[in-house]
Structure 1
Amino acid sequence: MLKRIRTEALNLMNEKGINFTIADLAKQLGVSKRSIYDHFSSKVNLIEAVLNEILSDLQVQIQEIVNSQQLNTIDKLSALLTASPKALGPLSSRVIVDIKRKLPEQWNKFEYFFDARWQEIEKIIGLGIQQKQFRTFDMRIVQQIYRGSINELYEYQFLTQSNQTFQNAIAAMTDILIFGFIATDNRQPSN
């Protein structure tokens, strides 16, 4: 029942932001509000449980990617840059904006996760540079490009106007970030 409550809560969050009510959730689940309050003391407690499960899932994914023996360096980098929640499902851009504005303590947990993920990304890029798969560049600039792109791709209007999901937009951004604009056949060696 707990997983069902969290999953449906995430569905409502993606649809309505964090402004959904416990009554909305109870109706979707076909249970009484009391049934939900038996498991969660408040709506905020429920939202925190959903977000904590998402972060936990992402942390497990990151460790699996980093420790994978099947992925090469480029595949690890791509997987790290595009990792998204699988346990309950993805977060919509609307939820991200709500969390940033209305639940700053929860958003700080996401920021901490992003920082930890970036450290793993830097290690993989460093390994790729050692292996001569990547060229040397200023990592601070790449981090700003990546974080700036993520922030812009969260924009609900952009996603709806371009008929994109956040995951598809991240995948496209990652492909451009890793492989650039120039087709492999057209690359000229630099002097």
Structure 2
Amino acid sequence: MTETKKMIMDTVIDLFNVKGLKFTMDDISKELHISKKTIYKEFNDKDELFFATVDYGFSAIKQKEAEILADDSLDLVEKIAKLIVCLPDNYKNIDFRRVYQIKEKYPDVYKKVAERIETDWEETDRLLKKAMDQGVIQKFPIPLIKLMVEGAIEKFLGSQDLSKTELSYEEALNSMIDIIMNGLIIKK
């Protein structure tokens, strides 16, 4: 991936936070001090730009997940919780409460976001099974846990409900995982 592509996608994220979907290619051009022609050399249109930005974001999530998995200072339950609500540091400032706009205006892009949320659970599944086998958390069907988490995240992203609260997306995720994990932890 070219450095120009990365800069454009980072700018898309910044502009999305400020303007929602109302930013234009002109806004990107002005923000980066580059021509629109340069943007169109990298991306054919706004749809392609959004698809690439989704992939870019989920790649960053996978990198953060790898850091969590390698962190020996975290116990099993902490790793599970952090994996489920994993957000890369550079994405913590994104106003995810605006993502519902994508569902309405760019349904194919939203569908891709939903698909990415529903995949790549292998490491989390493995850790959940390990925690259940060790008696650290109660035994529940892993697909049920996965459905609960995915359902909550999709509700956060796919509706305006979260934007009507005082909670940021990160606060909502952390509250969700706290509720789920405290319901799963075996009280001794």
Equivalent in the alignment of 1:72: 75
Equivalent in the alignment of 2:140: 137
The answer (yes or no) to whether the contact 2:25–2:36 under 8 Å persists in 1 is: yes
Equivalent in the alignment of 1:120: 123
Instruction: State the identity as a percent.
Output: 26
For 1:63 and 1:171, locate their aligned partners in 2 and report how far apart those are by CA, in whole Å: 19
For 2:91 and 2:142, locate their aligned partners in 1 and report how far apart those are by CA, in whole Å: 32
1:173 positional shift = 0.8
In structure 1, stretches of 5+ residues that fail to align are none
For 1:179 and 1:28, locate their aligned partners in 2 and report how far apart those are by CA, in whole Å: 44
Equivalent in the alignment of 2:170: 167
Mean Cα deviation higher: 144-153 or 83-92: 83-92
Equivalent in the alignment of 1:148: 151
Equivalent in the alignment of 1:179: 182
Residues 133, 179 of structure 1: alpha-carbon distance in 2 compared, 3 angstrom cutoff: same
Q: Which has the larger radius of gyration?
A: 1
1:158 positional shift = 3.1
For 2:107 and 2:159, locate their aligned partners in 1 and report how far apart those are by CA, in whole Å: 19
Equivalent in the alignment of 1:94: 98
Partner AA of 1:117 in structure 2? D
Equivalent in the alignment of 1:15: 18
TM-score by length of 2: 0.79
For 2:111 and 2:161, locate their aligned partners in 1 and report how far apart those are by CA, in whole Å: 25
Residues 88, 129 of structure 1: alpha-carbon distance in 2 compared, 3 angstrom cutoff: closer
The answer (yes or no) to whether the contact 2:97–2:157 under 8 Å persists in 1 is: yes
The answer (yes or no) to whether the contact 1:26–1:32 under 8 Å persists in 2 is: yes
For 2:171 and 2:101, locate their aligned partners in 1 and report how far apart those are by CA, in whole Å: 21
1:181 positional shift = 10
Q: Is the partner of 2:10 in helix, strand or coil? A: helix
The RMSD of aligned alpha carbons is 2.9
Partner AA of 2:129 in structure 1? G
TM-score by length of 1: 0.78
Partner AA of 1:177 in structure 2? I
Partner AA of 1:92 in structure 2? F
